[in-house]
Structure 1
Amino acid sequence: MLNISRNALNKEVDLSKFKSAKLVFNKDYYKLWRRFLAGFTIVGFIALFLPWTQNISGRGKVTTLTPDQRPQTIQSPIPGSIQQWFVREGDEVKKGDTIMKIAEIKSEYFDPNLVQRTQNQRDAKAFAVESYAGKVKAQDVRISALSSERRLKLEQAQNKIYQSQLKVQADSIDLEAAKTNLRIAQTKYDRAESLFKDGFTALKRVEDARVKLQETEAKRISQEAKLLASKNVVLNAKIEVSKLKAEYADKISKAQSEKFSAQSNQFDSEAQVQKLDSDVSNYSIRNGLLYITAPYDGFINTALRGGIGQTFKEGEELVGIIPTNVDLAVETFVEPIDLPLIHKGEKVRVQFDGWPAIVFSGWPNVSYGTYGAEVVAVERFISPNGKFRVLLKPDSEDHPWPKDIRAGSGAFTMALLDDVPIWFELWRQLNGFPPNYYQPIENTDAKKK
């Protein structure tokens, strides 16, 4: 039976009449296996035509939708030293709560009354500004008075010139009259002398005519002297006008110079007042910076600077804070070859680390533990890891994300693409082809319109 011997026993002895031989030699051992293979082949062939959702998978982490909700560190804009802590790590704080108190380390800010002293300096300079402004007004009044006085003096001098000119005219007329009288006296004298020579008149009349001629000559000379004196008065009056103009021009120039000096001092004092105002404002704001406060409601994460009396520079990180209320999102990264398949508004399935899930990437509807998301933004420049960053937000049409997830935890994402048969997906995977390129229906309809 075992065919150990070279003599085949089954050829010499008929074993079919034995019951055990019937059970051994006539039994079909591979009947169930062949049935299993046939059923598996049929089921596998049918499964090749089942729909399969193409997807782009990626790894990412949980973040926030807006930058102002992400964890951050609090810095001090001024250098200082830590004086007192008001919170501990893990404490919840409200917006404006004091986290720590710091002290100045620069000697120019040690004075506790620095703001008040600077305010007093500002008030003193403001009073100086008012004083200079009053001096400018006084000089304006002085200039106005000098101008009025100059105008009156010049009018008076002009009147004097006019009077002198009239006197010159009168003296000129008198001189012409004296000349006429002189000619008449000369004529009378000549006639009397001629008559005397002819014997028609007495010598007395000739002598009287000579005396009259001499008197008339004297009057003419006197009148000519008066005319010259009148002309001299006119010249003196004109010189007086010029003198008045020069005198008042000098006085007004001096007043204007003093006015401009006062204005210059006023403007300089105003500039100093403005600088002191700026200093007062800066010192007041700086005093407010001695208390580090929470920028929003959140939790104290990490104290980056510990102890009391430790110094730090401006801009150094002091403490980390995490906001309380955030709009969670997921940032994931995709390969450059898959970037054309990602569009804003696409649906994505997300699996969070720490949450149990059963994932069928090709059948998202039967997956368990995944959550819906929607593409919000696609980065236009490649990241340092050689991939493109995609930002996802919760899908409002799907069930909400777990409330206990925290920013920074890991996430596995699947961007859902086209529906294809399984045989096509296997063929694509074997050949290393990318998923089907397509455009969203909304974009296609918009282009057609």
Structure 2
Amino acid sequence: MLNISDNNQVYITKGKYKTVDNLVNRPHYKILNKLIIVLSIVGLIALFLPWTQNISGSGSVTTLKPDQRPQTIHSAIAGRIEKWYVQEGDFVQKGDTILFISETKDDYFDPNLIANTKQQVDAKKMAVDSYSGKVGALETQMGSLEREKNLKLEQAQNKIRQSELKVKSDSMDLEAVKTQLRIAETQFKRAQQLNGEGLKPLTDVEEKRLKLQASEAKIITQENKLLAAKNDLINSKVEINRLMAEYAEKISKADSDKFTALSNKYDTEAQVSKLENQYVNYSIRNGMYYIKAPQTGYVNRALLAGLGETIKEGTPIVSIMPSGYDIAVETYVNPMDLPLISKGEKVRVWFDGWPTIVFSGWPGMSYGTFGGRVVAIENFISPNGKYRILIAPDNDEQKWPEQLSIGAGAQTIALLDTVPVWYEIWRTLNGFPPNYYKSINGSENTKDKK
């Protein structure tokens, strides 16, 4: 400040004023000065006292296993509430009936729906058996046709062989007749010559003429027989082709009928499977009208009330708390502290409503806290911006109170490294994370992030 005024500064010196001397010499000022000095020394010493670094968190009491936590029973099908069998606070065993609902969909109104579906299944099964019998009969028919075809073919082959032999025989007969004709011509000519020379009578010539004419007639007859035999041979060969075509048609028709029956059989089997599926579904749905307790526990709260109320699929009905459970604590820690916590680490826990005196830096002086161990660490951040940690009781320490109820508030402290108080104050003012040291071979301490 600039001294630009005319005011003269006056300094008060000791001994100049009696009142000032009396104030300075008061005895309680000496005591206060000594007290300040002592407190300063104690505070300075306290700065070098050991302080246990820790990570604090808050949460609530829960159960260790998911199936031991309070659960809500839902309706698997749509229906209408007809009757309640329990009330809030009742103890129910697994399988006890909680509620009965009736059907609301017109597809399931028939009271004999299951029996009718069973009859349809049985009828379709009999149809499958009928088609199986038809397939067997057609296979038998095809076998019979195949055997008959083979016999007919064998018969036709024999007939062809007979025709071939008859043609051969007629050919030989024709040659014999031709030979006879030549002999008859020779004899006729010789008889004419001898008759002309007067050695043979005319009657011999006429007789030889008759024999010649008879031989000529036999040749024509024998040629006709040979041609007829050849025609029979051709007809026999044609008969084989006709038999092959006829039985091929009959066997193909039986084979086609067989595949048609098989197709109908497979189609009916598919219908049987579909009907059996419907039958099972109807039977299961019929059992869903009675909503039962999935496990033993207490009925906490009825989420629906009254009779005649219509509900949809998946509608929550009642909340059940299992009677037997393993207690645990779920707590939430800041993201900065998450790398400092590992599975199996020891944690101190105290509960709301339980007498507790807590010194976070000196856990040995705390009262009313209980030991726990980290059993699970959630790796995805929760909606509250923190990470969830699950803590189970430590079997090596005092048991947790039996009076604890699910959902009660809980506070936790995870103990870390021990440092001087002044270091902890300095760390807190600078916003640094707590120390975490990992021992290597039990001799060297190195600062290492997990």
- Regarding TM over 0.5, the answer is yes
Q: Which amino acid aligns with 1:46?
A: I
Moved more, 93-102 or 190-199: 190-199
Secondary structure at 1:358 match in 2:
coil
1:163 to partner: Cα distance? 1.0
**Distance in 2 between residues matched to 1:357 and 1:106, nearest whole Å:** 59
Q: Which amino acid aligns with 2:222?
A: Q
Q: Which amino acid aligns with 1:70?
A: R
Quote the residue 2:61 is aligned against. Answer: 62
Secondary structure at 2:28 match in 1:
coil
Question: Structure 1 residues 25, 413: CA separation in 2 closer, same or farther (over 3 Å shift)?
Answer: closer
Quote the residue 2:128 is aligned against. Answer: 129
Residues 386-441 of structure 1 deviation map (CA, whole Å, 9 limit, x = unaligned): 22222221112221212222222222111111111212111111211111133477
Q: Which amino acid aligns with 1:101?
A: F
Moved more, 43-52 or 72-81: 43-52
Q: Which amino acid aligns with 1:96?
A: G
**Distance in 2 between residues matched to 1:266 and 1:321, nearest whole Å:** 51
Quote the residue 1:18 is aligned against. Answer: none
1:232 to partner: Cα distance? 0.9
**Distance in 1 between residues matched to 2:202 and 2:233, nearest whole Å:** 47
- Alignment: residue pair count: 428
1:43 to partner: Cα distance? 2.7
Whether the 8 Å CA contact 1:340–1:437 is kept in 2: the answer is no
**Distance in 2 between residues matched to 1:118 and 1:65, nearest whole Å:** 46
Residues 14-58 of structure 1 deviation map (CA, whole Å, 9 limit, x = unaligned): xxxxxxx9x999774334334333333333233222221111112
Whether the 8 Å CA contact 1:341–1:438 is kept in 2: the answer is no
Please give the residue correspondences for 1:378-393 in structure 2 after superposition, counting only pairs within 5 Å.
Answer: 378-393=377-392
Question: Structure 1 residues 437, 27: CA separation in 2 closer, same or farther (over 3 Å shift)?
Answer: closer
Quote the residue 2:422 is aligned against. Answer: 423
Secondary structure at 1:374 match in 2:
strand
Quote the residue 1:368 is aligned against. Answer: 367
Question: Structure 1 residues 33, 255: CA separation in 2 closer, same or farther (over 3 Å shift)?
Answer: same
Residues 87-130 of structure 1 deviation map (CA, whole Å, 9 limit, x = unaligned): 11111111111111111111221222221222122222222222
Quote the residue 2:325 is aligned against. Answer: 326
Question: Are 1:347 and 2:339 an aligned pair?
Answer: no
Question: Structure 1 residues 190, 49: CA separation in 2 closer, same or farther (over 3 Å shift)?
Answer: farther
**Distance in 2 between residues matched to 1:391 and 1:262, nearest whole Å:** 66
Quote the residue 1:71 is aligned against. Answer: 70
1:354 to partner: Cα distance? 1.7
Q: Which amino acid aligns with 2:69?
A: R
Whether the 8 Å CA contact 1:352–1:409 is kept in 2: the answer is yes
Quote the residue 2:91 is aligned against. Answer: 92
Quote the residue 2:263 is aligned against. Answer: 264
Quote the residue 1:335 is aligned against. Answer: 334
**Distance in 2 between residues matched to 1:260 and 1:74, nearest whole Å:** 53
Question: Are 1:118 and 2:117 an aligned pair?
Answer: yes
Quote the residue 1:16 is aligned against. Answer: none
**Distance in 2 between residues matched to 1:25 and 1:116, nearest whole Å:** 111
Quote the residue 1:313 is aligned against. Answer: 312
Please give the residue correspondences for 1:119-268 in structure 2 after superposition, counting only pairs within 5 Å.
Answer: 119-193=118-192, 203-268=202-267
Structure 2 portions without partners, runs of 5+: 1-14, 445-450
Moved more, 320-329 or 31-40: 31-40
1:12 to partner: Cα distance? 13
**Distance in 2 between residues matched to 1:88 and 1:186, nearest whole Å:** 135
Secondary structure at 2:437 match in 1:
coil
Quote the residue 1:290 is aligned against. Answer: 289
**Distance in 1 between residues matched to 2:300 and 2:153, nearest whole Å:** 88
Quote the residue 2:41 is aligned against. Answer: 42
Whether the 8 Å CA contact 1:96–1:293 is kept in 2: the answer is yes
Quote the residue 1:3 is aligned against. Answer: none
**Distance in 2 between residues matched to 1:11 and 1:222, nearest whole Å:** 191
TM-score when normalising by structure 1: 0.87
Whether the 8 Å CA contact 1:96–1:296 is kept in 2: the answer is yes
Secondary structure at 2:417 match in 1:
strand
Question: Structure 1 residues 444, 211: CA separation in 2 closer, same or farther (over 3 Å shift)?
Answer: farther
Whether the 8 Å CA contact 1:125–1:273 is kept in 2: the answer is yes
**Distance in 1 between residues matched to 2:334 and 2:413, nearest whole Å:** 13
Question: Structure 1 residues 281, 239: CA separation in 2 closer, same or farther (over 3 Å shift)?
Answer: same
TM-score when normalising by structure 2: 0.87
Quote the residue 1:411 is aligned against. Answer: 410
Residues 187-225 of structure 1 deviation map (CA, whole Å, 9 limit, x = unaligned): 444444455566665555444443333222222221111
Structure 1 portions without partners, runs of 5+: 1-9, 14-20
**Distance in 1 between residues matched to 2:195 and 2:442, nearest whole Å:** 147
**Distance in 2 between residues matched to 1:322 and 1:26, nearest whole Å:** 75
**Distance in 2 between residues matched to 1:435 and 1:149, nearest whole Å:** 101
Secondary structure at 2:353 match in 1:
coil
Question: Structure 1 residues 382, 12: CA separation in 2 closer, same or farther (over 3 Å shift)?
Answer: closer
Residues 146-184 of structure 1 deviation map (CA, whole Å, 9 limit, x = unaligned): 222222122112111111111111111222222233333
Quote the residue 2:4 is aligned against. Answer: none
**Distance in 1 between residues matched to 2:183 and 2:154, nearest whole Å:** 43
Q: Which amino acid aligns with 1:106?
A: K
Task: Tell me the C-alpha RMSD between the 2 structures.
Answer: 2.8
Secondary structure at 1:30 match in 2:
helix
Please give the residue correspondences for 1:425-444 in structure 2 after superposition, counting only pairs within 5 Å.
Answer: 425-439=424-438
